Each structure stands twice: as structure tokens, then as C-alpha cells.
Amino acid sequence: MKKRHLAVIAASIALAGCSQPAQTQAPATTAPAETTTVAETSAETKETAKTEEETTASAGGMYQPGTYEAEADGFGGAIKVSVEVDAEKILGVTILSNSETDGIGSKAIESLPSTIVEKQSTEVDAVSGATLSSNGIKNAVQKALNTASGNEEANAALDEKPATLFDEGWSVKPKYGIVKGNYFKESQVFRQGHTGVLEVVTSDEGELLMVEFNETGRPNYYTRVYQDQGKRLSEYNFTMGEKKGVALIQGILAAEQQMIENQSLTDEIDCVAGASNSVQQSMIPMAAVIAERLDEGSTQKYYSIAEDLGGGLSGKLDIVVENGKIIDCQYDEIFADSPEEIEDEVLKPHYRTSKYYSIYYEEPSRIGFNVQMDALNAKVVETQDLFDLTDLPATEDTGDYKTGGFTLRNTAWDNYLALAKKLHTEMVNDGVIK
């Protein structure tokens, strides 16, 4: 993960010179002149400095009246502000320049200055969906106020580059156990050809059990490795996060969590700045479509099981059934949230991705993991048999390198069969398959 960097800007502090009163030599006939001791000089200097400090803060007020400029990092770059104060109040805040995203960070640019003046404080709530832009404005204003109050030393801490949301990380670890319910799915092509897919699972009582969104990059995407590539569990999140300070998955997870917590697909979502386009343009519209279908119910049932496989891997099997037939069977193995949790040194770089979606994972069985699992899905849908692996790739050791290449048995097949057995039992007991 990209490490946090500190940008330290040295603050120059103007030191006021202190002059001592001139001493006049007394005539010989008068009493000896009083001698100014070191202690008295020190006290006199401190008193002068104190007087100057009080003058700077406008004779006991909070600020030295005037207009002060300062800047701090927002989401798109430096945000420069002008702050006008009198001795006791903030009179006005003006944004002088910024590079924030139109329609997202610009909302903070438009509204926060007046809020700060109204509240007479920078301790105000960030604008929804524009957290980094909001923090940049608040930090810039606070730096100007620190200067106005003679407390420029405090600006050094504000000059430290704030930790980005990307630095805070995210979790892709699936919830262990079985999830089952009514299944709803929508897909949509949006913004130059990206494809969004939203899956929703509800209980018979209408409780939202799962909300999951994924996006596939458009076929003509400008980075070839992400063309037609699912992004949720791929390295795309690291590429985006290092550039923008926030990963797509972080915006997606935040939206999904709010929908589950609110038990609503249509309540207003507090989007994550920098990771909101896909949520706003695809996920939210599709959620509204599904919301209209919830009362009608669904003919499709969803069954999922996830378990810890050990070594920093989780196995997850998702099955969708309609009218007693399996119409979708997806198996994947997901890497842990940190390299430290992954035992195999070769696999450590793949943290927060999965074998199916990673673009860099090298499958030891010598056939792409995604190819194998796509073949599994096609076979199960055709045969309605979860356990017949006949003719599937990498189910046994075959061939040799010299004569035509070889494959090794993929250990993932054993993991899949173990989960399939448990999920099959669950579905039979529920009467959704025979």
C-alpha cells in the first residue's frame, strides 16, 4: 500500500526587537543612579513581548483585525482561501482558488465558507460526498485564523499531508456462514460502456440481507489490463487509490453498508468523495429499479456459503436457483486483507483481491482460475450436478511440458466440493432442488 507522506512547510516567525530605555549618567553630587539588574531587564523584555502579543490579538481580542490568506490540500490539489476577521469574529471566508471536482468537491467549495462564518468555527461537518475537499477548506481557514491570532506555530500540524481514505484500507473478507434468500439482480451499461451489476438478497420477511455491486471496465478502457475486467476484487482498486487517494471498492462498500443499515435501497446515500461516480450513475439507479420489484417477490433463490480455508484464503460459493434448477454457480477464493495474514510468500502481493478477479495472480495448475470456474458454472447449469467435475480443466495432473504442455490438479476443486456439499444439503432440505 502506498505509504503516507508528510509535506512539512517551515513557518517563518517574525521576532519583534525589544529596545531598552536609555540610561542617563547622574551628576556626582546626586545620589547614585539605580542599577538595572539582569532580572529587571528580563522582566522588562517579557513585558514588552507580552504587550506586543496583546496588540497582535487586538488588545485582548481573539484576532488581529485584517484579511489573511492561507492554503491547504484538498482532494484535487491546493485550496487557497482568504479570511477576514475583526477582533472577535470571523467576518468572511472566500475561496480564492481550487482544483476540486465539479459536482462533488465543488459542493464543499460553495457551501462550507458560509457555514464556517455562521458557526464561527472550522469544527463543522464535512459536506456529504466531499470529505477531502471539506477538510482542505477547513484546514486552510484554520491556518489563516491561527495567523490572525498569533498562533502560527500550530500551522505546522495542519501542513502535514492528511491520511487519505486509501491509506485506511478496506476489507474484502466475506462473512462466514450461509446466506440464503430471495434474489434480485440488475445490470446496466453506463458511462462510455462500463457495466454495473447489482445483486440484492432479501429474507421472506423483506429484510435486506445482502447488497453487492460490481463494475466491469468498458471494452475500450484506456488501460488494457482493465478492459472487460471486474473491479471489485481486482488490482484496479490499488491503481485508482494510489492516484486519487480513494479506491472504487471503498465507495461501493460504504454505499452497500448504508443500504443494509438503513434497510432501504432508496434512502439518500452519503457517497465517498472520489469514488462516487459509479455509485451515483449505476448502483443507485439500479437499486431504485430493484426496490420497485421487492414487493412482487422473486422466483429466484440465492444460496451462498463462505469459509476460512486457512493460510489467508477464504472460499466462497454462490448459487442461484429458479424453479428447481441451478441457473448460476460461482466459486472464488479470496485473499486476506493484509499480506501478514497470507502464509505463502508468493501470494502475499494479492491481498484484497481474489483468484478469479486478480489480473496478476498466477494459477499453479497452469490454467487460468477464471477459465476453470467459468467452465464449472457452464457444466453445473447444463448438468444440474454440483459434484461432477468430469472434463473440467485442471482436475488432475496431465501431460508433460516437452510434448505439449501439462496441467496440475487445482487444489481449489477440493475446497469447492466441500462447500458444494454443505450448500447442496441446505438447498435440498429447503426443497429448492431435489
Q: What is the DSSP letter of 240?
A: H
Among all chains, which residue has been given the C-alpha cell 477548506? 137
Nearest-angstrom CA–CA distance, 122 and 125: 9
Instruction: Output the tens digit of pLDDT for each of the chain's 434 residues.
Output: 333 332 322 333 232 333 333 333 333 333 333 333 333 334 444 444 444 444 445 456 899 999 999 999 887 789 999 999 999 999 999 999 998 877 778 889 999 999 999 999 999 988 866 777 888 999 999 999 999 999 998 998 887 766 678 888 999 999 999 999 999 999 999 999 999 999 999 999 999 999 999 999 999 999 999 999 999 999 999 999 998 889 999 999 999 999 999 999 999 988 887 788 999 999 999 999 999 999 999 999 999 999 999 999 999 999 999 999 999 999 999 999 999 999 999 999 999 999 999 999 999 999 999 999 999 999 999 999 999 999 999 999 987 666 667 899 999 999 999 999 999 999 999 999 99
| Assigned CATH topology for domain 177-430 | Sufe protein. Chain: A (3.90.1010)
**Beta-carbon neighbour count of residue 227 at 10 Å?**
14
208 in Cβ contact with 326 (< 8 Å)? no
Q: Is the pTM value of this prediction over 0.95?
A: no
Q: What is the DSSP letter of 291?
A: H
251 in Cβ contact with 275 (< 8 Å)? yes
Nearest-angstrom CA–CA distance, 14 and 9: 16
Domain 38-163 has CATH 3.90.1010: yes
Q: What share of the chain is helix, strand, coil (3-state, %, to 5)?
A: 35, 20, 40
Nearest alpha carbon to residue 166 among 99, 236, 88? 236
pLDDT by residue (tens digit) across 22-79? 333 333 333 333 333 333 334 444 444 444 444 445 456 899 999 999 999 887 789 9
Chain CA centroid to CA 171, Å: 10
314 in Cβ contact with 421 (< 8 Å)? no
Range 48-53 contact pairs with CB under 8 angstroms and sequence separation of 24 or more: 48/18, 49/16, 49/18, 52/16, 53/150
331 in Cβ contact with 317 (< 8 Å)? yes
- Positions of E strands within 250-343: 300-310, 313-322, 325-335
Q: What are the strands of the beta sheet with 66-73, ordered from one edge?
A: 66-73, 78-85, 90-97
List the chain domain ranges. Answer: 38-163, 177-430
